[in-house]
Amino acid sequence: EPEVTQTPSHQVTQMGQEVILRCVPISNHLYFYWYRQILGQKVEFLVSFYNNEISEKSEIFDDQFSVERPDGSNFTLKIRSTKLEDSAMYFCASSETLADTQYFGPGTRLTVL
Amino acid sequence: GQNIDQPTEMTATEGAIVQINCTYQTSGFNGLFWYQQHAGEAPTFLSYNVLDGLEEKGRFSSFLSRSKGYSYLLLKELQMKDSASYLCAVRSTGFQKLVFGTGTRLLVSP
């Protein structure tokens, strides 16, 4: 069964450093998403991406964040200058159409020191 | 805005049936999803309701009443591996994002 994959599984970085989290969505899916989950809290939406542009974003997704689809398979989330409060599990998800179920990847645990 | 409420924690016994409730408030409802999440892992899709009524999938069923802003997830013949958090998420018309509740942690004991 096709699945969303994410790398790395765990990323440790120093405050102020840039990080890039990578995702490979399910191959025939057209909508891509990033969510995050701070430890012990609920899953929060960050951004959705369709047809090579951001289609929706939350207030969390400020100028420090960016997304890109650099090639036909990868979808990345960049945090330019990490803060301590960016420490969280970051989940990538994809769906075939807007109305379909979103399938989540295994996540990247980001730890900012 | 949207508001989603679920109980924080529930306990049940192996082999039993448990019902996890979710109430929501949103304008322009466009679907409710249930996900299972084991600690430290990704949410895994369980079920989707957009029309009123019951959707059954093996040991899991989900019910929706749009007029009441209410859904439940029913788990039958509980197994130890069902110990996990169960997340209720709502999508609204015109939005792609899912808004998640805080999740219900279910502990299944022998």
- Give me the residues paired with residue B49 across strands: B32
pLDDT at B19 over 70: yes
Give the SS3 label for residue B73. Answer: strand
Count of A-B CB contacts under 8 Å: 49
Q: Burial, A97: exposed, middle or buried (Cβ in 10 Å; 0-12, 13-18, 19+)?
A: exposed
Q: What is the pLDDT of residues A16-50, one digit of tens each?
A: 999 999 999 999 999 999 999 999 999 999 999 99
User: CB-CB: which of A44, A58, A105 is closest to B42?
Assistant: A105
CB B64 within 8 Å of CB B73: no
A43, A56, A103: residue with CB nearest B96: A56
Is B63's pLDDT higher than 90? yes
- Given a cut of 70, is residue B1 above it in pLDDT? no
pLDDT at A1 over 80: no
pLDDT tier for residue B94 given thresholds of 50, 70 and 90: confident
Cα B103 from Cα B41, distance rounded (Å): 14
For chain A, the farthest-separated pair of C-alpha atoms sits apart, in whole angstroms, at 39
What is the pLDDT at residue A99? 86
* Tokens 């997304």 -> residue: A67
Closest CA to A32 of A54, A10, A11: A54
Q: List, for residues A56-106, the tens digit of each pLDDT value.
A: 999 999 999 999 998 888 999 999 999 999 999 999 999 999 889 999 999
Taking 90 as the threshold, does the pLDDT of residue B68 lie above it? yes
For residue B37, what pLDDT is reported?
Answer: 95
**What was the pLDDT predicted at A35?**
98
> pLDDT averaged over chain B?
95
Residue range B12-23: mean pLDDT, rounded:
97
3-state secondary structure of A86: helix
Q: Cα distance from A107 to chain B (closest Cα, Å)?
A: 6
Residue among A49, A59, A101 with most chain B CBs within 10 A, to mutate: A101
